[in-house]
Chains A and B, each alone.
Chain A
Amino acid sequence: MASDHIVTSYDEELTELKSKVSEMGGLAEAQLENALEAMQRRDTEIASRTIEADFRVDNLEQEIDQFVVQLLALRQPMASDLREIIVALKISSDLERIADYATNVAKRTMTLAHSPQVRPAHAIPRMARLALTMINDVLDSYADRDTQKAIAVWHRDEELDEMYTSLFRELLTYMMEDARSISSCTHLLFIAKNIERVGDHATNIAEYVYYLVEGKPLLQSRPKGGENEYERLDLPKSQA
């Protein structure tokens, strides 16, 4: 990519921008990984460390914002350079959201760890693994400018959406069976929703990577998993 500008300092700046985005990606990914581990192990230690570390992602986002503004003002980028810079700005804002969701998961883990354990919702660890793979792959696709990989991530979000929908149903059943589990199940539901949102942000990043490389938006319509996302479950007659 940016390796052959006449002005070499411009190349260096673009390389620096790219590595800042990758660094932020690694950090956001680690935050999510830690939050999910904390949740699965009911480990408040890891959870609180994750919450505390969120500022590092926020700081990097601000650094990238400032760098982008500076590049736009001083270099007046065109064509692929312009896309490089705009896409860095957009990806960093999605990464910041991903890290926020990680923090959210960690915060709910703090509460959950002090509540009685509900029946394991098997889909959550599976969702977590999938979301982490998506982040990992989409960051690779950004580093390697690999649109095929980006498109694969983009398609995999469907699976995550479906898992979320089935988990939603599962948790509602638990809550109906035992009202004492409502509090914990609600937290788990929010956690699942957060993971599902992480997938959406990974999808956004995949779209930016495609735009970065191809110069045009990824226009296919994405299959949406769990088409009836907002389904309802009625109480059995006996309890109604």
Chain B
Amino acid sequence: MEEVEKSQTVAGEASKPVPPAIDHPVKMRTRNVNVHYGEKHAIRNVSLDIGEREVTSLIGPSGCGKSTYLRCLNRMNDTIDICRVTGDLELDGENIYSDNVDVVQLRARIGMVFQKPNPFPKSIFENVAYGPRLHGLVSNRTDLDEVVKQSLRRAGLFDEVKDRMEDPGTSLSGGQQQRLCIARAIAVGPEIILMDEPCSALDPIATARIEELIDELRQNYTIVIVTHSMQQAARVSQKTAFFHLGDLIEHGDTPQVFTNPRDEKTQGYITGRFG
């Protein structure tokens, strides 16, 4: 169930944080996004631009709404009955919540990678092949092979799995599984990849590989990442947005946010002073 309303903008209220100078064209434009879980007002009037082919990180303490906001971007919140999303969310200028949007197609354009690697209980090959087949992106086995290889290469996993494509995806290490999930997301040719704490279950080496991968992927994809690690946000993103209690407190160039945040709350959070 989904309910989309045109938000009633209260002038001034929504434009609290000063947006950073966007040097990349805006890929996703969101205005006055509000999310309610039943009675709970989880996101309040968030307006944020996501720049094309750059990494935007969403940070903030647990329960601040960053994951909820992320899940609005590809309508993952639609799957939760009591969740109500209002506001304008546009992908390339088109409202992603309008009635004629095919949610399955939308999620092909806006892929997602989750906190815990969740490969299908199938072979490595099938994990990646599933999406292109489902979406009818390939017409024959040769093309499919090519898409799978290409996706695994882009995810930096191909060399490690090329001789064991028929092994189950779950036989890989945690870091490899996460890269497999990234390959699976890439395989359907998305424009945006959403990542919800993609490294929180990984060791530092596997984390570094994912971060390196994120840096490569931003040449071709727009990436939005939710992370609990501020160091990770600092390392991988060009823009950082800080959420607190459902409000977007500050959104700026990552170097600025981490060296000279404008808001006291941001300062408190990133320096570890948050009560």
* A residues at B contact (CB < 8 Å): 4-7, 10, 76-83, 215-216
Contacts and interface: CB of A to CB of B under 8 A. Distances in A.
Contacts of B271: 5, 77-81
In this complex, the interface size class of chain B, counting residues with CB under 8 Å from chain A, is: 10 to 19
A215 B259 contact: yes
Main secondary structure of the interface of A (DSSP, over half): loop
B139 interface: no
Contact of A82 (B259, B266, B273, B274): B259
B231 A79 contact: no
Interface of B: 230-231, 234, 258-261, 266-267, 270-275
A5 B267 contact: no
B231 A5 contact: no
B260 A79 contact: yes
A78 B260 contact: no
A79 B274 contact: no
Contacts of A216: 260
B267 A80 contact: yes
A215 B274 CA distance: 20
B273 A5 contact: yes
Contacts of A77: 271
The listed residue with most A CB atoms (<10 A of its CB), out of B259, B261, B266, B271, is B271
Nearest to B268: A4
The listed residue with most A CB atoms (<10 A of its CB), out of B258, B259, B272, is B272
Contacts of B259: 78-79, 82-83, 215
Contacts of B234: 78
Contacts of B266: 79
The listed residue with most B CB atoms (<10 A of its CB), out of A4, A78, A83, is A78
B258 A76 contact: no
A125 to B, nearest CB: 42
Nearest to A81: B271
A82 B273 CA distance: 14
B254 to A, nearest CB: 11
Contact of B273 (A6, A83, A215): A6
B264 to A, nearest CB: 10
B273 A76 contact: no
Contacts of A82: 258-259
Given A5-B271, A215-B259, 5 more contacts: A4-B273, A77-B271, A78-B270, A80-B271, A82-B259
Contacts of B258: 78-79, 82
Nearest to A10: B272
A83 B259 CA distance: 8
Contact of B272 (A5, A83, A215): A5
The listed residue with most B CB atoms (<10 A of its CB), out of A4, A7, A10, is A4
A83 B260 CA distance: 9
Contacts of B273: 4-6
10 contacts: A5-B271, A5-B272, A6-B272, A6-B274, A10-B272, A78-B234, A79-B259, A79-B270, A80-B267, A83-B260
A79 B272 contact: no
